[in-house]
Amino acid sequence: MSIRKIIIDTDPGQDDAVAILLALASPEDLDVLGVVAVAGNVPLSLTQRNARIVCELAGKTDVPVFAGCDKPLKHTLVTAEHVHGKTGLDGPQLDDPTMPLQDQHGVDFIIDTLRSQPSGTVTLCPLGPLTNIATAFQRAPDIIERVQEIVIMGGGFFEGGNITPAAEFNIYVDPEAADIVFRAGAPLVVMPLDVTHKALTTPAHVAAFRGMDTNVGHMVAAWTDFFERFDKEKYGSEGAPLHDPCVIAYLIQPDLFAGRHINVEIETQSDLTRGMTVADWWGVSGRAPNALFMRDVDADAFFGLLAERLSRLA
């Protein structure tokens, strides 16, 4: 399989950080053209900082990091410090990054990259709200047909929501942006809560990270220790879902996941269900399928891949 060119669009977040590390540890599969930060788990001033911290941790300071949109298209920003802490990467003490933030706006980077690379060769990997992707599509609709694939962490159907009863956080923060992306016509793969809630950390998984005895291994274990506390209390589960690494794992080893090609629409009008991903799993609407919506993952193999790749980083 050829090496995939990807742009990671992200709002780090401990699980975003692990996803970025997984991508950067997999050069035989993925060519990370750039990392674009968006406001989400925490404000943009912190997400762009956190993205650079993660690239430095991986020893990949040559990967350009850009700042994108600092607020949703229409709504006031909702953040998730209650999950990720005030910095977004709470847990271990982190130094400020020394690698530069690129001067170019992240949306312009997305547009320019899709126009300059051969059509159908760049995959977009949004791990946070879809504001940057939607803004790029609105400003430059010619790029939509040039996208190879968009692999999204977001939404939920059988699992409901994690920020409201109906809505998953990434979609809820900017449902108008999500609606634009889901209607755009680019090939979509969706990693909803229905699959990420099956990729739960366990004490053995965290011990495996710590047992690497590397800076990356200790950091991932510490992040997981912090991140787990919220989900363990909320769901009564043994561990916490590593949501965002599912996107990167799919690009490396797609057979870890199973789902259906179905229609998915985004609710933007209702106060009660704003941000809901209305997934027509049973094909009752008659609407044309627009997304490969995942529901199952081989969790043991997923964590095996994660451990093997992260062990490559110092």
Residue tagged active-site, from 105, 205, 243, 261:
243
| Burial class of residue 19 in the structure, from the number of CB atoms within 10 Å of its CB (0-12 exposed, 13-18 middle, 19+ buried) | buried
Measured CA to CA, the distance from residue 154 to residue 294 in angstroms comes to 11
- Is 84 marked active-site? no
* CB neighbour burial string for 80-113, b if at least 16 within 10 angstroms, e if fewer: beebbbebbbbbeebeebebebbeebbbbbbbeb
Distance CA 205, CA 303 (A): 7
Angstrom distance (rounded) from CA 181 to CA 266 = 10
Let me know: does 119 contact 255? Beta carbons within 8 Å. Answer: no
Q: Which residues are catalytic?
A: 243
